[in-house]
Structure 1
Amino acid sequence: MKYLVMVQGSQADYEAMSGKAPQDGPVWSEKELQAMFAFMGEVTNDLAESGELIDAQGLTEPAQARFVSKDKDGRPVITDGPYGETKEVLAGYWLLECESLERVTAIARRVLECPGPEGLVEPPVVIRPVQDSSGGEC
């Protein structure tokens, strides 16, 4: 089965990683950032070696996002990020082919072990099965 394993984040998280102090969390040091990137790289490399990795990407901060919607008259409305009403956004993901939900859950538990600064409150890792083209799970 294919699964999307998503890591959540916020604009404040990205700012903390760039050295700006958030209201409710720690600022990341360069050493902590290097440890986080090394850990995520190791997870990705292990998944590639096991043959489970289809794709993995980290995403830019919400301030670089663009939201495209329609107004009440059906006209396009384009808004640049970040979006105050959205606390958490997708920060990165792995698209995996795993033998079971239990296996992908074990991978998500491993992702939660990612190092970070003391006092960091990490959002959960989200697992979503990917539907195949017939509307069922892969």
Structure 2
Amino acid sequence: MRFMVIVKADQDSEAGVLPTQELLAEMGKYNEELVKAGVMLAGEGLQASSKGARVKFHGGKRTSVIDGPFSETKELVAGFWLWQVRSKEEAIEWLKRAPFGDGAEVEIRQVFEAEDFGAEFTPELREQEERLRAEVARRQ
């Protein structure tokens, strides 16, 4: 099972405050454990929303582009991991070991797999998806 581990933003991350050298070292060690265990597939921190934009759609057409920053800090994402684990419980156990301080909030969400879509995900669509994933892998 794959899980997206979503690190929520806070006032510091939205203000562009960078982590300390100590926290970077702790996170590096934690990420190394995830990689050695075969859990971590990807992970990145994100710039503050002031450097981003939102694109809204209606009726299949783009209706607006809104430049950041965005006001609801607690709803914003500061970073993420993509993990491969056996269960949500295993993801939670890994997350409990993360070097976050007081007030940090992290969300865990299971990623859809092809079989989750049932018959609507036709053999042709599956083939297209596999082809796209292979192309992405070649480019990395």
**Alpha-carbon distance in structure 2 between the residues aligned to 1:52 and 1:85:** 31
For 1:4, the aligned partner's letter is M
Normalized per residue, the structure richer in helix is: 2
4+ residue runs over 6 A deviation: none
Classify 1:5/1:75 alpha carbon distance in 2 versus 1 (closer, same or farther; 3 Å).
closer
The size of the alignment, in residue pairs, is: 115
Where in structure 1 are there 5+ consecutive unaligned residues?
A: 19-31, 116-120
1:72-118 Cα shifts (integer Å, max 9, x gaps): 9x55200110112454311111101112222110111112x435xxx
Q: Equivalent pairs: percent with the same residue?
A: 28
Q: Does 1:133 align with 2:104?
A: no
Contact 1:58-1:92 within 8 A present in 2 as well: yes
Aligned partner of 2:93 among 106, 112, 128: 106
Match of 2:5 in 1: 5
Contact 1:71-1:77 within 8 A present in 2 as well: no
TM-score where L is the length of structure 1: 0.72
Classify 1:71/1:2 alpha carbon distance in 2 versus 1 (closer, same or farther; 3 Å).
closer
Match of 2:30 in 1: 43
Match of 1:52 in 2: 39
Contact 1:17-1:33 within 8 A present in 2 as well: no
SS in 2 for 1:131: coil
Q: What is the deviation of 1:67?
A: 0.3
TM-score where L is the length of structure 2: 0.71
Where in structure 2 are there 5+ consecutive unaligned residues?
A: 118-140
